[in-house]
């Protein structure tokens, strides 16, 4: 995939819940999982090992801070962290709060649905404030 074809590169200027020069936190806009977040590296790289150690630490600090904020705000049963990139080979992490009554639990969110499920949401303004308090601008 070329940078011109990469949806994460093309969407780089879209509103984010938090951002700095290196990465951004966005909602995955998933109706079943409204609190599903993505942490996206701004530059078009494929793998964590494409980053220098300081950048790796920065990205992981942001991912773990998003996890910590979602845990504090929603008290989920579990948080799923994933970095796949098979369909979009641009470095990004999925941070997905999971609940025992969600549509797929205990299976991955990409598995077949088990039930209608409850969509646990977080208020975007509250999440932005919590992320801004926990992460530097």
Domain 3-134 has CATH 3.30.428.10: yes
**pTM greater than 0.75 (yes/no):** yes
Give the model's pLDDT for residue 13: 84
Question: Cα separation of 65 and 97, whole Å?
Answer: 13
Domain limits of the chain?
Answer: 3-134
Using alpha carbons, select from 14, 57, 22 the residue that is nearest to residue 39.
22
**Residue in the structure block whose two tokens are 């998003």:** 66
Give the model's pLDDT for residue 87: 87
Q: What is the mean pLDDT of residues 111-126?
A: 92
- pLDDT tens, position by position, 37-91: 999 999 999 999 999 999 999 999 999 999 999 999 999 999 999 999 888 999 9
Give the model's pLDDT for residue 77: 97
């Amino acid at each position: 995939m070329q940078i011109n074809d990469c949806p994460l590169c093309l969407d780089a200027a879209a509103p984010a819940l938090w951002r700095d020069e290196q990465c951004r936190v966005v909602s995955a806009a998933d109706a079943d999982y409204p609190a599903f977040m993505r942490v996206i590296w701004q530059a078009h790289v494929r793998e964590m090992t494409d980053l220098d150690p300081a950048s790796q630490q920065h990205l992981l600090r942001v991912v773990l801070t998003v996890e910590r904020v979602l845990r504090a705000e929603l008290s989920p049963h579990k948080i799923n962290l994933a970095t796949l990139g098979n369909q979009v080979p641009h470095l990004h992490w999925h941070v997905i709060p999971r609940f025992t009554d969600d549509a797929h639990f205990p299976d991955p969110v990409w598995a077949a649905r088990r039930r209608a499920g409850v969509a646990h949401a977080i208020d975007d303004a509250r999440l932005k404030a919590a992320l801004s308090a926990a992460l530097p601008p």
